A and B are shown apart, each in its own frame.
Chain A
Amino acid sequence: MKRSPYDQQVLDRMAPGALCAEGFLGHDPRDLSDIIAADDAAVAAAGLIHTQIAAKLAEWMLIAITELGRAVELTDNVTGVWREGMGRIPSPWPGEGVFPKGELQLTDRRTGRAMLVTQLSVHLIGTHGFYQGRGSPYRIEPAELIPLLELA
């Protein structure tokens, strides 16, 4: 598949070791545009848009950050824990700025399933509808996240 130099630069920056050790695409065999399209369809099917999801995650993140690492109940079913990280990480899309490291662990108390959300993840979801590739430590499955957000 032919890509523009810009698109190739984005893909290069998503590779393991470019901006972070594990990269953004995990072991997902799909093309970046296919990953985004599939997640877009899942979000649309739930009657939501990406900016709504990003805004809710940003709201939860602010709540968790003030707890300085202590667990906080974000809803009746969701626990959040903020873990600080040193430094900042840029967006794989060039020119979009740098984002403080650190991660919010969201745990569904009913199932015990957990997912990690970073400030960069929130930006990537809100701006590009990008939830990362399967196998990335920061992959968020829209189908798992959306019921937790209680946005409907």
Chain B
Amino acid sequence: MVQPLSLWLVVLVATGLTCMLTTLLAGLLLLAERFLVNYGPCAIDINSGDRQLTVEGGQTLLAALKSEGIFIPSACGGRGTCAYCKLKITDGAGPLLPTEEPLLTKDEIAADVRISCQVKVRNDLKINIPQELFSIREYRGVVKRIRDLTHDIKELRIALTEPETLEFSAGQYIQLQAPAYDKSPESVYRAYSMSNPPDDNRAVETIIRLVPGGICTTWVFRYLTEGDEIAFSGPYGEFRLSETDNEMVWIAGGSGMSPFWSMIRHMKTAGIERKTTYFFGAVAKRDLFFVDELTELADELPWFEFIPALSAPADGDHWTGETGLITEIVNRHVTAGRNDLEAYLCGSAGMIDAACKVLADKGITEDRIFYDKFN
């Protein structure tokens, strides 16, 4: 007869052995997946036969496309956190992964949209890639200038070395690569709008605001120095001037200045004389920049008006300009019923949501509101 204590001992040992065996098998499966499983070459059909790739199976779709010179926007370096690298995969992707689900809407899931850094190429795939992404490539350059624009905003100028020129539209952005450093064991990519005009095509300028704890901005503010080599990909994005003659309002705050600083200089050079009013919001005077330059442009260009505004001027600011939230200023200046007006916005999600509401109240329809939202 088995004693109760012995029975417990047998159960404990059996449970322990089962756990050990399960862990061992799981480990072996992971190792086998990594080192032994050979998926062989897999075919990727892009845009229904427009382009065919043959890649080595086992890597993520994002990495496979990058190895073939196709750069899909990605800010987190393939960690499945930014959700920028969404692609439509019509065949071969397998079931949706738990790591993808929180990053996709129900409509996207229904439309076969997937997170390309999470989907592994294990067999032939059929995917759709927006045409404009084929013109994106990797660039290398040297940091020529870093200058403080405010207490927490810097301007970066990068002279291109490989290739030596970059063709882009005012309003587009790059993905800057922050390499691994002591605050980050892996390199990451972050999106920044280009602030130089397109004819200045041997360099890239961008305006970066420090994000406390941010991996890329910490690197730019604390580690990057003039003369350093730097890598990025681009140009990305659909935020650009329409090809109409409609009057425009521009609304921005903080580093949302970037695309507009590019656009206004492009319009001047290219002789685009569309009536434009630029509303730029900040809290206090210490948060403003490029005011003198934009005021000079407004004096010079009869079709351009610049309206900086402070929401809470400091005691010593001696501010005589517009005061209030930028949305309040827009509300005061833009008359209702302007169905010929186009609006361009760049800044925080909160500012853009509030501005869209003001513009809608003025009768500006959604199809005439273009924005580049930070989040």
* Nearest-CB residue, chain B, relative to A138: B213
Q: Would you call B99 and A95 a contact (CB within 8 A)?
A: yes
Residues A70 and B312 in contact in the complex (CB < 8 Å), given A17-B183, A17-B184, A21-B215: yes
Cβ-based interface call for B128 (8 A): no
Q: Would you call A98 and B209 a contact (CB within 8 A)?
A: no
| Complex interface: chain A residues within 8 A of B191 (CB) | 86-87
* Nearest-CB residue, chain A, relative to B327: A68
B312 CB to closest chain A CB (Å) equals 5
Residues A70 and B283 in contact in the complex (CB < 8 Å), given A21-B183, A82-B350, A84-B254: yes
CA distance A66 to B348 in the complex (A): 11
- The size bracket of the interface on A is 35 or more
Q: Would you call B281 and A88 a contact (CB within 8 A)?
A: no
| Complex interface: chain A residues within 8 A of B183 (CB) | 16-17, 21-22
* Nearest-CB residue, chain B, relative to A105: B212
* Nearest-CB residue, chain A, relative to B98: A95
Residues A100 and B311 in contact in the complex (CB < 8 Å), given A66-B354, A85-B214, A87-B82: no
Q: Which residue of A21, A84, A87 contacts B347 across the interface (Cβ within 8 Å)?
A: A84
Residues A68 and B81 in contact in the complex (CB < 8 Å), given A97-B102, A137-B212: no
Cβ-based interface call for A65 (8 A): yes
Q: Which residue of B75, B184, B185, B354 contacts A87 across the interface (Cβ within 8 Å)?
A: B75
CA distance A18 to B282 in the complex (A): 32
Q: Could you mark each residue 76-104 of chain A with 1 if its beta carbon is under 8 Å from any beta carbon of chain B, else 0?
A: 00000011111111100011111011110
| Complex interface: chain B residues within 8 A of A95 (CB) | 98-99, 101-102
Q: Would you call A68 and B351 a contact (CB within 8 A)?
A: yes
Residues A22 and B98 in contact in the complex (CB < 8 Å), given A17-B185, A67-B325, A71-B312: no
| Complex interface: chain B residues within 8 A of A84 (CB) | 253-254, 347-351, 374
Cβ-based interface call for B218 (8 A): yes
Number of inter-chain CB pairs below 8 Å: 108
| Complex interface: chain A residues within 8 A of B351 (CB) | 68, 84
Cβ-based interface call for B160 (8 A): no
Cβ-based interface call for B343 (8 A): no
| Complex interface: chain A residues within 8 A of B281 (CB) | 68
CA distance A87 to B102 in the complex (A): 16
Q: Would you call B213 and A22 a contact (CB within 8 A)?
A: yes
Cβ-based interface call for B345 (8 A): no
Instruction: Please list the residues of chain A having a beta carbon within 8 angstroms of any beta carbon in chain B.
Output: 16-22, 65-71, 82-90, 94-98, 100-103, 116, 137-138
Interface contacts beyond A68-B348, A85-B214, A101-B211: sample of 10 additional A-B pairs, CB < 8 Å, sorted by A: A16-B183, A17-B182, A17-B215, A21-B218, A68-B351, A69-B253, A82-B350, A88-B81, A88-B82, A116-B212
7 CB-based A-B contacts, threshold 8 Å? A67-B311, A68-B351, A86-B211, A86-B375, A87-B191, A87-B211, A116-B212
